[in-house]
Amino acid sequence: MTATTLRLALVGAPNSGKTTLFNGLTGGLAKTANYAGTTVETRNGRFETPAGASVTLIDLPGIYGLEARSTDERVAVEAIQGKRGDPPPDALILVADAANLRTHLHTVLQMKSLGLPVIVALNMIDLAERDGVKIDLPKLAVMLGVPVVATRATRKAGRESLVAKIDEVLKAVPPGTVVAEPVHDLRALQREARRIADETMVEPAMNKFTRGMDAILLHPVAGVVVLVAVLFVVFQAVFAWATPLMDAIEVGFASLQEAVSPLITNEILHGFIVDAAINGVGSVVVFLPQIVILFAFILFMEASGYMARAAFLMDELMLRVGLNGRAFIPLLSSFACAIPGIMAARTIEEERDRITTIMVAPLMTCSARLPVYTLLIGVFIPQTMVGPFNLQGLVLFALYALGVISAVAVAFVLKRTATKGPSQPLIMELPTYKLPVWRDFFLGLVSKAWAFLKRAGTIIFGTTVALWVLAYFPNGGTGLEGSYAGMIGRVIEPIFKPIGFNLEMVVALIPGMAAREAAVSSLGLIYSLGPVDETSQALQTTLGSAWTLPMALSFIAWYVYAPQCFATLATVRRETNSWQWTGFMFAYLIGLAYAASMVTFWIATWSGL
């Protein structure tokens, strides 16, 4: 074995346990970057084999073969072939779900045709054996002509045979193996794969547990009822479970402000640190519990196998607006934040469907809108009961429903105009039901939470501080009229006057373009109230006297549609590689927001609200 660091690529279908194996081999310590010219992420990790070989492990996006359809698949195939700036990997570890090996064998044969050394890791062998699947491993290895190892990626002992096989295979493999042209006769490969499967494995009919669960979860009526119930529990949890943690965070930031405030005597520095910096970040970090809870449910549904069933169940409904079930997962993710939802659209094979999904993802009610909704509903909607339901809760539910209905309507129009094309059928593998690998689950959750905190610590902090500077100078913060923020607001105020916005509302929109949730802390600065959040009594009282109900409803309507998040627009630009699509999204969302606000304001005014 040479001292050279060898590069191994992990290849496999989605849900095959590839990422679990990567985390197990590398200790979960990965360096994440983007492939050159794309936003598709690559994760690199390192480990040493018992023989002392230094290995760089590359976790590629999931693929079913070399006939790439989606962006993720195309980039993965090009990385294997050395067409992404780096040389081809020295060898491939092809991870296959042992319970679904029959559907993965043609991928093994395709990868073998490239001429690179291949090791097949039959993962989740314990679950396959539980379900009665029997595989003759020695015979399978002989017929494939590559080493085959049974693995259980969640256990160190279940990975040892694979690591030993890596040492054995790489002893005779010099780095820099040349990739050959793949075999293009896919029908011949599929026939060969079926022959090998028939001779080496005994696969019973679908196990009793899976049949029983799918009979309910994939039923056209019962399945929809279960899905609606699951989503109802998810969003109830986002609000109910998060409240104690959000209260604790608010108390923590309030205590920090109280502790820091007496230590700073300079008025400008005091305003900058206490009012702008601490308040700006604190007013966003308070929503971390909601983000964590929402992503916890999404990650659990993905890992357990239910998310694939939900996508399959939604396929018929999606087809009616021209999409397929794969769009369900990106749109569901957009309830937390449109950015991961837009990025998740990479798995959609048909480019027109992917673009349509990206275009409507910002219409889903992301968590960044919650501070504005919570504040204005609390001020202007009475806490009366409508039957067994609270009116404020009904209004909030209606806003979520309005976002979903609008997304469906826009997708329907786009698929018949700008992204017109034939509907693509949904073809996907339904994984077996299983509990998540808790280590991977929590690693993924921490990654999502950290991404949110970085956003709070950069974009939100920067915009809050910028607004404080604009509102404080040149008149020393004595009033909005004489500040730079007021001057900017007065220039654009006539544009918003027909929809009922006053100067303060217009100015609050400016930092809101960087991040929607910044509007709440911005209103506190604009009305000279100091640190506030959506539950601040002082802010609620001020808005209750300064705004009318039609003005508040117009502001809410604006936030349902407006593209007030530069980070989302930047993500759309990266994912579509097109300023035209980015500009189209910005323009149509602004148009919808303006029209909805105008209609809302004038109907509310004429009806005497």
Residues 341-363: tens digit of each pLDDT = 887 787 777 788 889 999 999 99
Which domain covers residue 189, as residue numbers? 6-202
Instruction: Report if residue 178 sits inside a domain.
Output: yes
The stretch 170-180 carries a mean pLDDT of 59
| Whole-number pLDDT of residue 481 | 72
| Whole-number pLDDT of residue 26 | 84
Distance between start and end Cα atoms, the chain: 80
Residue 31 has pLDDT above 70, yes or no: no
Instruction: Report if residue 151 sits inside a domain.
Output: yes
| Whole-number pLDDT of residue 37 | 42
| Whole-number pLDDT of residue 231 | 77
Span of 39-43, 158-162, 446-450 with lowest mean pLDDT: 39-43
C-alpha distances out from residue 224 to 15, 327, 411, Å: 23, 17, 21
The stretch 175-198 carries a mean pLDDT of 71
Span of 264-278, 433-447, 480-494, 522-536 with lowest mean pLDDT: 522-536
Residue 73 has pLDDT above 60, yes or no: yes
Instruction: Using DSSP bridges, classify how beta strands 6-12 and 91-97 pair: parallel, antiparallel or unpaired.
Output: parallel
Residue 598 has pLDDT above 90, yes or no: yes
The stretch 500-510 carries a mean pLDDT of 88
Using 50, 70 and 90 to split pLDDT, how confident is the model at 94? very high
The stretch 172-199 carries a mean pLDDT of 70
| Whole-number pLDDT of residue 197 | 83
pLDDT in tens, 247-279: 888 788 888 888 988 888 888 888 788 877 777
Give percent above pLDDT 70 in the chain: 86
Cα angle 493, 499, 500 (rounded to 5 degrees) comes to: 75
Give percent above pLDDT 90 in the chain: 13
Instruction: Report if residue 107 sits inside a domain.
Output: yes
Residue 123 has pLDDT above 50, yes or no: yes
Instruction: Report if residue 32 sits inside a domain.
Output: yes
Q: At what angle do helices 137-144 and 101-112 cross, to 10 degrees?
A: 40
Using 50, 70 and 90 to split pLDDT, how confident is the model at 580? very high
| Whole-number pLDDT of residue 586 | 94
Span of 120-124, 302-306, 513-517 with lowest mean pLDDT: 513-517
Non-local (6+) Cβ contacts of 217 within 8 A are 223, 226, 306, 309, 313
Residue 496 has pLDDT above 90, yes or no: yes
What the block records as the tokens of 541 is: 């009282």
Rounded to a whole number of angstroms, the CA Rg of the chain reads: 27
Instruction: Report if residue 357 sits inside a domain.
Output: no
| Whole-number pLDDT of residue 235 | 67
Using 50, 70 and 90 to split pLDDT, how confident is the model at 460? low
Secondary structure letter of residue 96 according to DSSP: E
| Whole-number pLDDT of residue 36 | 42
Residue 211 has pLDDT above 90, yes or no: no
The number of residues making up the chain comes to 609
Using 50, 70 and 90 to split pLDDT, how confident is the model at 515? low
pLDDT in tens, 542-575: 898 999 999 999 999 999 999 867 778 877 887 8
The stretch 73-78 carries a mean pLDDT of 82
What CATH number does the domain containing 20 carry?
3.40.50.300
How much helix, strand and coil, in percent to the nearest 5, is found in the chain?
A: 60, 10, 30
pTM of the model: 0.64
Instruction: Report if residue 111 sits inside a domain.
Output: yes
Q: How many CA atoms lie within 13 A of 392 on its CB side?
A: 13
The stretch 590-607 carries a mean pLDDT of 95
Instruction: Report if residue 417 sits inside a domain.
Output: no
Give the residue among 291, 341, 332 at the shortest CA–CA distance from 309. 332
Q: Which residue has the tokens 């010219």?
A: 37
366: left (phi over 0), alpha (psi -120 to 50) or beta: beta
Tell me the average pLDDT of the chain.
80
Instruction: Report if residue 159 sits inside a domain.
Output: yes
The stretch 413-429 carries a mean pLDDT of 74
Provide the domain count of the chain. 1
Q: String of b and e for 298-331 (b: at least 16 CB within 10 Å)?
A: bbbbbbbbbbbbbbbbbbeebeebbbbbbbbbbb
Secondary structure letter of residue 274 according to DSSP: I
Q: What is the largest CA-CA distance in the chain?
A: 84
Residue 412 has pLDDT above 70, yes or no: yes
Dihedral Cα 579, 585, 586, 591, nearest 10 deg: 140
Instruction: For 46, list phi and psi in degrees, rounded to 5.
Output: -125, 150
Span of 34-38, 375-379, 415-419 with lowest mean pLDDT: 34-38
Secondary structure letter of residue 411 according to DSSP: H
- Contact call for residues 297 and 448 (beta carbons, < 8 A): no
